[in-house]
Structure 1
């Protein structure tokens, strides 16, 4: 497998400490580090505290001997693996602690190591193992303290009181409860981090979609006009050089304008948060669209006065009219179109009609013009109706709200 990757030019990935782990949200978790400082601190605390406890309980419990110290050291040192192998560590510390207590050695901070191991197991998601290990420790201690104590050191020791068992049980439940609380908070933080990452990805996807839509609208319109004028220039190059020169001038002007608009769109990728260098186009530039359509051989009549719109809604309205006129140039056999601007209450409405019929001709290949128009309208909470008219021709009717609001994108096939 590695040889195949090397032949394909991809170096095989090497893992120094094993393959990566993945959490429930699909994010790669970093490999756990060795917790040396905390392990050394807990082990030293257990050994030192047990010495003090042995002096305080020297008449009740057995003194510390080399075996007891070895058990204490093993219990503390096992915590070094608690992040990599939490289940074996929590059961191992519970077992060594039970052996330590069963041998009659004094009570003391040996329970701290069990608490740390239980905490690590619960936080790592092994809740059942932590509860089972803690319950086993308590049950084993109860068995030793109330039945097996007759045959275990120290000789002649009395049975433990049930009040002491209640204290130990309360301590065990408190440790596991605190571990569960820490686990819940950690999962909440991880979930919030994943949600923030998802929101950032969605914003990036929406921005890419917006830029793609802008580029499509700009290039589809401009290239359609250029294609028509190039055809006119080629047809009249020999018979009417002046008309051919006018077509070439239109191509030059249209390409220059298209390059300017493409540059304006791409400028938003320079640095996030930068303001655009030029204002977004709106319906105030409708005369330019009419002039460009006329240069492509399309006569456009405009009815009504452009309504006052916010920059975002104005840009969407401009692009919708632009795309509708581009579709007339590319797909309709009619050389006449009508643009009607009006209101339905507080809702601005745009209507673009042509008399058809559809020719099926393509000026630059199939596109997603109608899908883009619907996405623009839906993103603002508006609607687009596009389709053949009963009396022939084609109609695009857009209703855009004055106040933009987010809505679900609608994707459909182009005309």
Structure 2
């Protein structure tokens, strides 16, 4: 909306013009012996010139202030005396004083006071006003400057509150974006772990089935059954993750196996032919995020055994302590010929999971050719 069309822009000058014209005409009837010049066309022109200039006070405050000062000084200088002509000057001063630097506007009322109270009488050859009038006018000018300062401080406070609200809104938006990014990364990590584990089992069992399909079909049948189970579990997990992507929270809608359900967690590896021995020491309730993270570490470590080791067995040890849970997956080895230990993200993903929960993870070879993965997760840590 254009500033000139706002009611406050033109309503204030209209009221000021009415007060100045009516008040100046009325003062002639109340004080006919003051010796003031009768109002004529020039007087009324001066009385409305100030309010007309006030229409542009928001866009050109200093220019309007100078124009109104000139009109205000010209009115008594022409012999029309004093009166409501000063109202335009008050409005123009407040508009300029609240928008610009103090040093440029605050001295203006006192310079105008000196010009009207001393300069005009001196030019006209009249006596200056009595001391009580000079003092009272100066006091009112101090009040006017105080009002201008109060308006400035209120505007500063309003702007500070507006900036604070904008800053809070920006921080909230940044926090929402961070949570969304964290949720997407968590889902991507879950998807990698699910597919890497299941596809590795499928790949190994399909190789076994191809080798035994002709000579030992009964063993090939077991391998094909393991492929079926692994693929079914992978499809279920992927459906859960896809469903999570369609929710605002970005949290899987189906339960994810954790380390507290260790038998279900290692069932896929056992179905693939790996003999998994489990040892659990102690027991205590785990936060869901710790439970799932420890379970994913176990799954990924078993996947690495299937992919990179010639061993047919592995040992999973879970130790519950007062403030942390220790996870160890040991592969007796040795490494399979032709297997590569680089290019994947398994160990890096496990280490990232542990670090995200303020824990630690080590993966190192054993002296006899095996490999062991150990993770420590603080139970009280937050993801």
Describe the SS at the equivalent of 1:381: coil
Residue 225 of structure 1 aligns to a residue in which SS?
Answer: helix
Q: Return the structure number with greater helix share.
A: 2
- Tell whether the 8 Å contact from 2:310 to 2:333 is kept in structure 1 after alignment: yes
Instruction: Name 1:376's counterpart in structure 2.
Output: 353
1:65 partner SS: helix
Aligned equivalent of 1:395, options 351, 372, 383: 372
Partner of 2:114: 146
Deviation at 1:395, TM superposition (A): 2.1
1:65 to 44, 53, 66: 44
Unpaired runs of 5+ residues, structure 1, are: 1-32, 80-87, 120-129, 407-415
Q: Which residue of 2 aligns with 1:41?
A: 8
Counterpart residue number, 1:211? 187
Q: Structure 1 length as normaliser, TM-score? A: 0.72
CA drift at 1:52:
1.2
Are positions 1:316 and 2:297 aligned together? no
Aligned partner of residue 386 in structure 1, secondary structure: strand
Residue in 2 that maps onto 1:82: none
Alpha carbons 1:72, 1:110 under 8 Å: kept: no
Residue-by-residue CA offset, 1:264-308 (whole Å, 9 max, x unaligned)? 122223332598653332224322343322333432221125733
Instruction: Find the aligned partners of 1:368 and 1:313 in 2 and give their Cα distance.
Output: 20
- Confirm or deny that 1:361 pairs with 2:339: yes
Decide which structure has the larger Cα Rg and report it. Answer: 2
Determine helix, strand or coil for the equivalent of 2:325: strand
Gaps of 5+ in 2: 29-33, 76-83
Task: Determine the structure 2 residue equivalent to 1:233.
Answer: 209
Q: Is the 8 A contact 1:282 1:317 kept in 2?
A: yes
Taking the aligned partners of 1:328 and 1:102, their CA distance within structure 2 comes to 98
Within 2, Cα distance between the matches of 1:213 and 1:141?
71
Cα separation, 2, equivalents of 1:330 and 1:250 = 16
Contact 1:98–1:140 under 8 Å retained in 2: no
Match of 1:352 among 324, 329, 344: 329
Count of equivalent residues: 353
SS at match of 1:399: strand
Verify the 8 A CA contact 2:21 2:48 in the aligned structure 1: no
* 1:274–1:303 distance in 2 versus 1, CA, 3 Å: closer
Is 2:142 the partner of 1:166? yes
1:47–1:69 Cα contact (<8 Å) kept: no
Match for residue 136 of structure 1 among 104, 111, 115: 104
Residue 155 of structure 2 corresponds to residue 186 of structure 1: no
TM-score, structure 2 normalization: 0.77
CA contact (8 A) 1:233 1:248 kept: yes
